[in-house]
Structure 1
Amino acid sequence: MQTPDQNTEIFGSMAALAGLDLSPERALALAEAAAPIHALLRTLSSQDLGETPPASAFSAAWK
């Protein structure tokens, strides 16, 4: 799990790649705001969905 300090570096790197100026304080605020979202995504990705058929297997025909 990444800490807000590590995420601050990531947000800073992404901003630099996009050519944006991002202060360290703003990067820290973004990292702290993103932490609950990342925690939720980690929870969702750990769920075993079993044998879920792909969407292409869906047939909307009324039979």
Structure 2
Amino acid sequence: MQTPDQNNELFGSMAALAGLELSPERALALAETAAPIHTLLRTLSSQDLGETPPATAFSASWK
């Protein structure tokens, strides 16, 4: 799991790539806010979905 300090660097790098100015304090605030969201997403992505058919297998016919 990334720490807020690591995410702070990530947010700073992403802002720089986008041509935005982001103060280190604001980047840290964003990193601290995003940490629980990243934890939740990591939990969801670790779930085994088994044999779930892809969305292309859906048939919308009214038969």
What TM-score comes out, normalization by structure 1 length? Answer: 0.96
Tell me the CA shift for residue 61 of structure 1: 1.5
The number of aligned residues is: 63
Residue in 2 aligned with 1:59?
A: 59
- Alpha-carbon distance between aligned partners in 2 of 1:46 and 1:23, rounded to the nearest angstrom: 33
Which 4+ runs in 1 deviate beyond 2 A? Answer: none
Alignment of 1:17-56 (within 5 A): 17-56=17-56
- Structure 1: runs of 5 or more not aligned: none
Tell me the CA shift for residue 62 of structure 1: 2.4
- Alpha-carbon distance between aligned partners in 1 of 2:26 and 2:42, rounded to the nearest angstrom: 24
What is the RMSD computed on CA atoms of the aligned residues? 0.6
Cα distance per residue 1:2-59 (max 9 Å; x no partner):
0000000000000000011100000000000001110100010010000110111011
What TM-score comes out, normalization by structure 2 length? Answer: 0.96
**What percentage of residue pairs aligned between the two structures are identical?**
89
- Alpha-carbon distance between aligned partners in 2 of 1:61 and 1:22, rounded to the nearest angstrom: 51
- Structure 2: runs of 5 or more not aligned: none
The letter of the residue matching 1:3 is T
